[in-house]
Amino acid sequence: MVKIDLPDLVEELLAGPRPLPIVAAGDPVLRRRTLPVEGQLGSEQLNRLITAMRETMHAAPGVGLAAPQVGIPLQIAVVEDPADVSPEVREVRGRVPLPFRVLINPTYEPASDQRIAFFEGCLSVPGWQAVVVRHARVRLRGLDEKGQVLDEEVAGWPARIVQHETDHLGGTLYIDRAETRSFSSAAAVAERWNQPAPDAAAQALDFRLPSRLPGQD
Ligand code: NI
């Protein structure tokens, strides 16, 4: 295995265009396990990388960006969601605002048995969306950019975002977990499947949703 000089790789990236170019599916960097952050980058360089990732996420626009999506094989992700959606979507999807966060070496585990399904997309798979069944609530652990310990439960849309971004750091894309029959172009989602929940899409495209227990709606 070729040893990567991470500070050089990051410096080369930061010397290039802004927003940073986003790597698309098919690039092996999205499929490799990333390295835990353990002092490979100095704090000043780490902060410059985080700033550039945040700018890139805003420019896309997106609600999360993982370091491999800009070609850096380290366990770093940024998340931020202004949740500029209708009250109905907010209610059904639990899409509440998520303030800017940096996740370093994150992991998650389910914090409830409930699983919920919604359309989601990825900046590395532009132009497409699919329904992904995810844990409704997770326990998120890791560090922030200052090295402070994160250990908290996350629910609603923010739980979906942290699962999606943490998955990136393990070489997993949302398409690996998607209901493949739900795979839809962004135009089809906008025209047909923009309801708050994917029930109509499940019926018309013939894919299964997790069963809802009474009282969970
Ligand atoms: Ni993604």
Tell which wins on pLDDT, 93 or 215. 93
Q: CATH assignment of 6-115+135-176?
A: 3.90.45.10
Residue of 152, 165, 179, 191 marked active site: 165
Taking a C-beta distance cutoff of 8 angstroms, is the pair 13, 54 a contact?
no
The model carries a pTM of 0.95
Which pLDDT belongs to residue 1? 55
pLDDT tens figures, 7-30: 999 999 999 999 999 999 999 999
Taking a C-beta distance cutoff of 8 angstroms, is the pair 211, 114 a contact?
no
Report, as an integer, the average pLDDT of 149-170.
98
pLDDT tens figures, 85-136: 999 999 999 999 999 999 999 999 999 999 999 999 999 999 999 999 999 9
- From the list 7, 10, 100, the residue with the least C-alpha distance to 55 is 100
Q: Is 165 annotated as catalytic?
A: yes
> Sign of torsion, CA 38 42 48 51?
positive
Amino acid at 189: V
Distance (Å) from CA 217 to ligand 1 centroid: 27
pLDDT above 80: residue 213: no
> Sign of torsion, CA 1 170 45 57?
positive
| DSSP 3-state of 49 | helix
Neighbours of ion ligand 1 (CB under 5 A): 122
Taking a C-beta distance cutoff of 8 angstroms, is the pair 217, 172 a contact?
no
Distance (Å) from CA 166 to ligand 1 centroid: 9
Instruction: Find out whether the peptide bond into 68 is cis, omega within 30 degrees of 0.
Output: no
pLDDT tens figures, 36-46: 999 999 999 99
Longest distance between any two alpha carbons in the chain, whole Å: 55
pLDDT tens figures, 45-63: 999 999 999 999 999 999 9
* Cα 117 from Cα 63, distance rounded (Å): 18
Taking a C-beta distance cutoff of 8 angstroms, is the pair 121, 129 a contact?
yes
Report, as an integer, the average pLDDT of 63-69.
98
Distance (Å) from CA 20 to ligand 1 centroid: 15
| DSSP secondary structure code for residue 149 in this structure | E
Distance (Å) from CA 23 to ligand 1 centroid: 10
11 to 7, 49, 72: CA distances (angstroms) = 6, 9, 11
Distance (Å) from CA 53 to ligand 1 centroid: 13
Distance (Å) from CA 10 to ligand 1 centroid: 20
Unique residue bearing structure tokens 């396990």: 33
> Sign of torsion, CA 197 199 202 204?
negative
Delimit the domains of the chain by residue range. Answer: 6-115+135-176
Amino acid at 49: L
Distance (Å) from CA 140 to ligand 1 centroid: 18
Taking a C-beta distance cutoff of 8 angstroms, is the pair 199, 207 a contact?
no
pLDDT above 60: residue 83: yes
List, in sequence order, the alpha helices (H) in 15-150: 43-59, 87-93
Mean pLDDT of the chain: 95
